[in-house]
Amino acid sequence: MTIDSFFESLYEQYQNKLPFVVYSRPINSIIKCWLQKDNVLNTTSNFTESGFVFAPFDLSHKSIIFSVDSCEHHSIEISQLPQDPFSNTALNDIKKQEHLELVTRGIKAITNGNLKKVVLSRKVQKDNVKEHPLDIFKRLFNTYKNAMVYCWYHPKVGLWLGATPELLFKVEGRQLTTISLAGTQPQNGKKAVWSEKEYEEQQIVTDYIIDQVKPHVSSINVSNTNTVSAGNLFHLKTYVTSLVKKANLKSIVEALHPTPAVCGFPKSKAKEFILHNENYNRAYYTGFLGELNLKQSKTRNPNRRNVENSAYGTLKTVSNFYVNLRCMQLIGTKAIVYVGGGITKDSDPEREWLETVNKTKTINNILG
């Protein structure tokens, strides 16, 4: 399949108001798409199906699935996509005081001992976005190589795009891999210098992940914490790997989602604070998306000339989910951009506001 025919099928799918997703995983030159053959809204609550899942922040609402059997699948391999030039315009970012007050309430709740951390978010609107969403996806792919970039559409739900740097978790056979990602700094041509508050925020996420996966795994390994680049930002990142005792994807989802990086700690109290104080519905922002229970074959012998040994391979069930960060929803010619930040006892409302402003640049940089 050529690049032209690959995207022609996507443009046609969108024109016909049929569901699709097109995406590329981090540091990957492969772009995949799923084209659903009808406009039926299929959902899952137990995560036993095979397909591509799009899940909300609040799992009391069902997750949407494009099942393997209901879709056509295509992929291409390319390092850079052709794209048209565009001129960037500003976001309509006018609700500073409202966010400062929200952060102040969060700090007060932490000070009173109800919470250790809460992640508070806001949405920003950009008007007169007239570009085709697939053209926006092309710029996401060209610009953010270290992110899971995607364009997801269902006529009964809406259209979402994003460039998320955060893996929720990946399961390959029995091996479970997840990461803690916290701390945010603009790059500005400088090296990252992290404060005690930012390392504390990162450690909260790491400790939470370890505690949550313990009942479901037989061993846990934790990597060193490193600085990573995502778009125009630096983050702190730690890998946590383990072996799953029993293949029960739903229990792992419930254990890890939502993470402290998008919700807070303790999870139930932080989630309750968010639902009662943010004053808007996050919907699929800080939910997760990705491939669910796909079969992946791998030959034991990488030497292709050894045909006899190569015939003996392994078949694994693979799932990989990414937290839906650095994302936006397109509604007509309006783009709704979602951003947030982690609040601890040492947070400063003004600095937290500036952090969300920096995060909007990931999406605004590719919007015409």
Full-model pTM: 0.88
Asked if residue 25 is part of any domain, the answer here is yes
In this predicted model, which residue has the larger pLDDT, 253 or 304?
A: 253
Q: How confident is the model at residue 318, as a pLDDT?
A: 95
The end-to-end CA distance of the chain, in Å, is: 29
Asked if the structure places residue 305 within a domain, the reply is no
Is 90 domain-assigned?
A: yes
**What is the domain extent for residue 76?**
3-299+310-364
pLDDT surpassing 60 at residue 297: yes
Q: Give the amino acid at 342.
A: G
The string of DSSP letters for 301-325 reads: ---TT-HHHHT-EEEEEEEEEEE--
At 182 the pLDDT is 75
With pLDDT > 90 as the criterion, what percentage of the chain qualifies?
63
| Per-residue model confidence (pLDDT) at position 363 | 82
Cα(176)–Cα(239) distance, integer angstroms: 11
Q: Residue 330: pLDDT above 70?
A: yes
pLDDT for the residue numbered 1: 84
Average pLDDT, the chain: 89
Nearest-angstrom CA–CA distance, 51 and 53: 6
Portion of the chain with pLDDT greater than 70, in percent? 93
The answer to whether residue 304 is domain-embedded is: no
Average the pLDDT over 12-27 and give the result: 96
Q: Which residue has the higher pLDDT, 42 or 187?
A: 42
Residue 306 in this model has a pLDDT that exceeds 60: no
The reply to whether 176 falls in a domain is yes
Q: For residue range 190-210, what is the model confidence (pLDDT) as tens digits? A: 888 898 888 887 887 788 889
**CA–CA distances in Å: residue 57 to residues 235, 320, 321, 362:** 22, 17, 13, 21
Given a cut of 70, is residue 124 above it in pLDDT? yes
Q: Is residue 260 over pLDDT 90?
A: no
CATH number of the domain enclosing 41: 3.60.120.10
Q: Are 161 and 126 in contact (CB under 8 A)?
A: no
pLDDT tens digits along 154-167: 999 999 999 998 89
Average confidence (pLDDT) over 97-116: 93
Question: Across residues 212-230, what is the average pLDDT?
Answer: 89
User: What pLDDT, on the 0 to 100 scale, is given for residue 9?
Assistant: 97
Tell whether 23 is covered by a domain: yes
Whether 70 shows a pLDDT value over 60: the answer reads yes
Q: How confident is the model at residue 84 (pLDDT cuts 50, 70, 90)?
A: confident
Residue 239, domain member (yes or no): yes
Find the mean pLDDT for residues 32-59: 96
What's the mean pLDDT in 67-92? 85
Number of structural domains found in the chain = 1
177 by Cβ neighbours in 10 Å (0-12 / 13-18 / 19+) ranks as middle
Position 146 confidence tier, pLDDT thresholds 50, 70, 90: confident
> Is residue 364 scored above 90 in pLDDT?
no
Is a pLDDT exceeding 80 seen at residue 303? no
Q: Is position 253 within any domain?
A: yes
pLDDT at residue 247, rounded to an integer: 67
Taking the C-alpha atoms of residue 334 and residue 360, their distance in angstroms, rounded to an integer, is 15
How would residue 322 be classed by pLDDT, with cut points 50, 70 and 90?
Answer: very high
Q: Across residues 179-192, what is the average pLDDT?
A: 81
Confidence check: pLDDT of 310 > 50: no
